[in-house]
Structure 1
Amino acid sequence: MMDNAYPQVDLLAFGAHPDDVEIGAGGIVALHTTKGFSVAICDLTDGELSSNGDVNTRRKEADHAGEILGLSQRYRLGFPDRGLDGSDQQIHAMVALIRKLQPRVVLAPHWEDRHPDHIACSQMVREAVFDAAIRKKATQNGEAPHRVQHLYFYFINHTGKADMIVDVSSVYSRKKDAILAFESQFVPGDGRVNTPLNNPTYLSMVDGRDRNWGYQIGVTHGEGLVSIQPISMKSLIE
């Protein structure tokens, strides 16, 4: 997938590393592409410090996962793995992308997670979404301000109380396939070291978490989201 085109999208999901979005919100992405919405993923880093795989492998795996999910585009900002420092340069690049794509909805990792990069990504997306709407906040190429309608946070390595649970039962097989597209990360093999991700209990945890959320809304699988703003409803009865 090309990185140099900037079509407008309905939903933009940020992850610190390739595979973050697939783990936490792959079902939501697949659900919306199935419904005809345009969805993009932005990986802040290439995950170059991962114990297994390399940059080229991860990029190929990410593109394959994107094809499975039906992405309109996948973007890579090339920030250093374990170097998400929230600098003006990094935030400006994220602001520019948001303004170019003009998403209605943005997804980011939840701010509580065992990986410091996920925590940093969460805060950086929050800042970039805020800055993207400031008219006097300039970017290098002068992109026009854009106000995101909704910012939601998804879970990666942890679970928690969800403000919203999305029924992803109909597309859950695509989520699983998209995660497994990152074979270097989730499948043990010769020459690969053991990590929390390729421990069989990890994918079982993800599936169990999504089943638990699904159970709470009476379906087989769900994905939980958190909002820092009140969720608006026009009526309690449709």
Structure 2
Amino acid sequence: MSKIDILAFGAHPDDVELGAGGILAKHARAGFKTAICDLTYAELSSNGTVENRQIEAERAGEALGLTSRYCLGFPDRGLIGTKEQLLMITQIIRQLKPKIIFSPYFKDRHPDHVACNQLVKEAVFDAGIQKIITPGNEEIHRVSKVFHYFINDLADADVIVDIGSVYQQKIAAFKAYKSQFGQQENNAITPLNKPNFFGMIEGRDRLWGQQIGVTYGEALVSARPISLGYLL
């Protein structure tokens, strides 16, 4: 595996795209190596199949210019923090050696998103502990920064990134998940495929953009103070 600059974790394929797709696309366009690691195949989703969702995830990753994408295959609604789950996340962090990690916001309404946040938090810590041995005997790795992106919620942001130049890529990644966000025959009605869902996402991106004087933005939260050498 090649080293990655930004590694974004999501509980399900499409989580990262909704909350940080623009940021990943912008950094990929600038030459940084980006990756997504989905913890589950989202096999309990009301619509679509695992096989189709993986095809959609691949297309979404292409739209964002990802270097790579992974799925650890944990059970959907089964992110219970077993030793095996934690070790697998720790291993992929050590293998990819990211400088920055993204995980979902820690107060999201979906329990799997909150569980993903907690698992990644623990794995980031464990990745730097010498006496924790991963299956491939990977070297320890210490992540420089961890940020949390929003999926279902709004809160005060610590960082807002201008994503106007890559917004069409975010939309393309969003639209790749036709099984989840599209109005298809025989689909169950969910909050995700109601007509106003994309309007909500776009409105939120416009709101954050407005806060920094641009058209579209994506917001991140840091649980720790952000280090700056100088203000100017």
Both proteins in one fold, TM over 0.5: yes
Equivalent residue number for residue 111 of structure 2: 116
1:89-135 per-position Cα deviation (integer Å, ceiling 9, x unaligned): 00100000000000000000001111110010011111111110111
2:176 is matched by which residue type in structure 1?
A
Deviates more, 1:84-93 or 1:131-140: 131-140
Output the amino acid matched with 1:216.
Answer: Q
Aligned positions of 1:166-177 closer than 5 A? 166-177=161-172
- What is the root-mean-square deviation in Å for CA atoms of aligned residues? 0.6
The answer to whether residue 97 in structure 2 is matched with residue 102 in structure 1 is: yes
- Superposed displacement of residue 140, structure 1: 1.6
Q: Which residue of 1 aligns with 2:136?
A: 141
| In structure 2, C-alpha distance between the alignment counterparts of 1:200 and 1:136, rounded to whole Å | 51
Superposed displacement of residue 87, structure 1: 0.8
Distance across 2 between alignment mates of 1:77 and 1:189: 28
Aligned length: 232
CA-to-partner distance for each residue in 1:32-80, whole Å, 9 max, x for gaps? 0000000010000000000000100000000000011111110010000
Structure 2: which amino acid aligns with 1:182? Y
Unaligned runs of 5+ in 1: 1-5
- For 2:62 and 2:116, the matched residues in 1 are separated by 24
1:92 aligned residue: 87
Tell me the residue number matched to 1:190: 185
2:126 match = 131
Counterpart of 1:34? 29
One-letter amino acid matched to 2:58: D
Partner Cα separation in structure 1 for residue 28 and residue 183 of structure 2: 30
2: CA distance between counterparts of 1:88 and 1:51?
29
Where does structure 1 differ by over 4 angstroms across 4 or more consecutive aligned residues?
Answer: none
The code of the aligned residue for 1:128 comes to: A
The one-letter code matched in structure 1 to 2:3 is: Q
The Cα of 1:7 is off from its aligned counterpart by 1.2
1:232 aligns with 2:227: yes
CA distance in 2, matches of 1:187, 1:11: 29
Q: For the residues of structure 2 that align with 1:196 and 1:113, how far apart are their CA atoms?
A: 15
Q: Which amino acid aligns with 1:33?
A: A
Q: Match for 1:158: what amino acid?
A: D
| 1:210-229 matches, cutoff 5 A | 210-229=205-224
- In structure 2, stretches of 5+ residues that fail to align are none
Find the aligned partners of 2:72 and 2:225 in 1 and give their Cα distance.
Answer: 30
Specify the code of the residue in structure 2 equivalent to 1:129. Answer: V
Per the TM alignment, residue 203 of structure 1 is displaced from its structure 2 partner at its CA by 1.1
Identity across matched positions, percent:
55
Report matched runs for 1:152-167 at 5 Å: 152-167=147-162
Counterpart among 197, 200, 206 of residue 202 in structure 1:
197
